[in-house]
Structure 1
């Protein structure tokens, strides 16, 4: 699934007031962090996460690992914070409808 610029703009507006639900620790992307991210994406569809790493290259590696592991789409990346979207077709109430 590829998001159009209009859909990304819409999701950025929805995600503006969100706080990061998942934060990586000093250990990086552990199995527990990835499992929590999977749960958050299944419950909320739109999730903000904070990637704690010393340099930009390491944050980029973490982001690529998250995207390949979860199958989520990158909506926005600003510094240490990224906004991810993955639709949940089984979710009936509160589902995000894209324009």
Structure 2
């Protein structure tokens, strides 16, 4: 999903006070980890992921892995933190995505 600049700015502003929900450590990336992230983002729509210092992967590796193996968008990377967005499929969970698509 391609987001326009205005949409990305809105999402970054909404996530400014968020803390990372998931971390990537020495176990690295796996399909199971991506499933867990996909399940959590279905309810949240917007969340942060932290890449720990002891991780064998870089932030760019994580970004490419997420974007190539799922329909989750990486909105921003700051240092070792990635901001992820995916519109929820259930209408009850679509709190942020409704506002994003209006922009």
TM-score range normalised by the length of the shorter chain: 0.7 to 0.9
- Could you state the TM-score of these two structures normalised by the residue count of structure 2? 0.82
Tell me how far 1:25 sits from its aligned partner.
1.5
Matches within 5 A, 1:24-63: 24-52=24-52, 58-63=58-63
Q: What 5-or-longer segments of structure 1 have no aligned partner?
A: none
Alignment partner of 2:33: what SS? helix
TM-score (norm 1): 0.85
Q: Which runs of 4+ in 1 moved over 6 A?
A: none
Partners in 2 of 1:2 and 1:29 — Cα distance? 24
* Cα distance in 2, alignment partners of residues 94 and 59 from structure 1: 28
Q: Report the RMSD for the aligned CA atoms in angstroms.
A: 2.0
The residue correspondences of 1:74-93 to structure 2 (distance < 5 A) are 74-93=74-93
Count of aligned residue pairs for this structure pair? 98
